[in-house]
Structure 1
Amino acid sequence: MQITIAIKGALSSVTVHSFASLWWQVVATPFLNAEK
């Protein structure tokens, strides 16, 4: 049972991290291009 919870926690962490990275790229890229 604990292992299942740990796996779910790890998966949700990875998903959130990936989503945040993707969102940051989408938001930051036009901003960085405007700076140039």
Structure 2
Amino acid sequence: MSELTAALQLKNEGNELFRKQDYVGALAKYSVTKPLV
């Protein structure tokens, strides 16, 4: 899996967490992907 694919997967998981209103989990996901975006 390329880094880009991994980053997109994490970002999508973050979006799911936002929809579930799990803001802490979502922010944790985005803090990981932000440097790659």
Question: Normalization by structure 1: what TM-score?
Answer: 0.51
Match of 1:26 among 17, 21, 25: 21
Match of 1:10 among 5, 8, 11: 5
Where relative contact order (Cα < 8 A, 6+ residues apart) is larger, the structure is 2
User: Whose Rg is larger?
Assistant: 1
What's the C-alpha RMSD, in Å, of the aligned pairs?
2.0
Identity of aligned residues (%): 5
**Unmatched 5+ residue regions in structure 2?**
23-37
**Unmatched 5+ residue regions in structure 1?**
1-5, 28-36
Task: List structure 1 runs of 4+ shifted beyond 2 angstroms.
Answer: none
Task: Select the structure that is richer in helix.
Answer: 1
